Structure 1
Amino acid sequence: MRSVIYSCEEHVEEALDDWVYGEETFPEFEKLEDADGVWITCGYCKNQAIYMVGNECSDTKYRK
């Protein structure tokens, strides 16, 4: 199971589709903030990622 897919503006729909197809559930979806100049690369090209698609937390986040 992938925990997160990073994507640029051009590939965000592909990232959402890949996540739903692979995990059979809806992902968390967030726009990334500029984290002190940290460059995160898109998982589909070499552009800067601006979206995070997936589940950044562990599967135990919502367990009691």
Structure 2
Amino acid sequence: MNTYSCETHINHALDVFVAEQGKFPIMEVASKEEKLSTKCTYCEELAMYVVANE
């Protein structure tokens, strides 16, 4: 499971991940390429973070 998040929605993304997966996620800063082309899962802003299980 990968969720992309902007600065505003990172806490929500972490909460949703824990609620759905039942474990703590890995949170990483999005790569330069991802920052240029990937939007937040929750809004239209560019993604700053990737929340993932691996």
TM-score (norm 1): 0.75
Count of residue correspondences: 54
Instruction: Determine what percentage of the aligned residue pairs are the same residue.
Output: 35
Gaps spanning 5+ residues in structure 2: where? none
Report the equivalent of 2:40. 42
Report the equivalent of 2:18. 20
Is the Cα–Cα contact under 8 Å of residues 36 and 46 in structure 2 kept in the other structure?
no
What is the identity, as a one-letter code, of the residue corresponding to 2:16? Answer: D
C-alpha distance in structure 2 between counterparts of 1:38 and 1:15, whole Å = 20
Report the equivalent of 1:29. 27
Higher helix share: 2
Gaps spanning 5+ residues in structure 1: where? 58-64
Instruction: Please identify the structure whose Cα radius of gyration is greater.
Output: 1
Structure 1 residue matching 2:45: 3-state secondary structure: coil
Moved over 3 A (4+): none
TM-score (norm 2): 0.88
